[in-house]
């Protein structure tokens, strides 16, 4: 695993953790409260779980060559929808921990949460691509300028040779005035 993947996974995991804390731990804590909740959540394990999900997002976005925040948000939201919908439906089917409405709200929040993390990861993965594209564009502009300058010099040289040939042809009294006229009309 290279450092870019590791940093992207850390950013994704941190985004998931903070988003989850704000939404589940603060804003909707009463809505999701059940009798089976721990008195104090084990933040270490929650953090490790979010890092695993962060790495999953990085792997998916890397496989699809996603390199913008917008594309990352779309891919992350789809990934979150599929993961949360699958897990929440299974948990609802095998336990009495939550109601169906709670499970469906969890799917909605998970979709948004993964979308936000996907945007962060997509942005990070695309940073190097946009920087290298920018430097490639600068190199391309330089090459284009050099090519244009070279073509301009070549055209001037051809034009000078052509004028010199016409002048010699006219001076020598050549009877082939048609080719000389066409050369003047064409600019060559």
pLDDT single digits (tens) 149-172: 555 555 555 555 555 455 444 454
Return all residues near 19 (Cβ < 8 A) that are at least 6 apart. Answer: 113, 116, 117
pTM for this model (two decimals): 0.69
The whole-angstrom separation of Cα 26 and Cα 29 is: 5
Largest CA distance in the chain: 111
- Is residue 39 included in any domain, yes or no? yes
Once rounded to an integer, what is the mean pLDDT over residues 14-40?
Answer: 90
- Is residue 35 included in any domain, yes or no? yes
* Mean model confidence pLDDT for the chain: 81
Once rounded to an integer, what is the mean pLDDT over residues 96-116?
Answer: 95
Higher pLDDT, 48 or 183: 48
Provide the residue range defining the domain that includes 89.
3-132
- Is residue 114 included in any domain, yes or no? yes
- The pLDDT value recorded for residue 126 is 94
């Amino acid at each position: 695993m290279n450092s870019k993947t590791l940093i992207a996974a850390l950013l994704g995991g941190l985004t998931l953790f903070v988003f989850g804390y704000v939404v589940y731990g603060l804003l909707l804590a009463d809505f999701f409260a059940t009798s089976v909740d721990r008195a104090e959540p084990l933040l270490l394990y929650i953090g490790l779980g979010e890092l695993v999900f962060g790495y999953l997002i990085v792997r998916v976005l890397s496989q699809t060559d996603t390199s913008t925040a917008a594309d990352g948000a779309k891919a992350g939201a789809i990934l979150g929808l599929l993961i949360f919908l699958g897990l929440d439906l299974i948990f609802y089917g095998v336990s009495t921990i939550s109601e169906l409405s709670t499970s469906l709200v969890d799917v909605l929040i998970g979709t948004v949460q993964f979308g936000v993390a996907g945007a962060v990861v997509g942005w990070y993965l695309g940073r190097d691509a946009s920087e290298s594209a920018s430097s490639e564009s600068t190199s391309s502009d330089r090459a284009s300028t050099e090519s244009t300058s070279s073509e301009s010099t070549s055209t001037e040289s051809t034009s000078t040779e052509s004028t010199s040939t016409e002048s010699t042809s006219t001076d020598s009294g050549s009877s082939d005035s048609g080719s000389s006229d066409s050369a003047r009309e064409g600019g060559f």
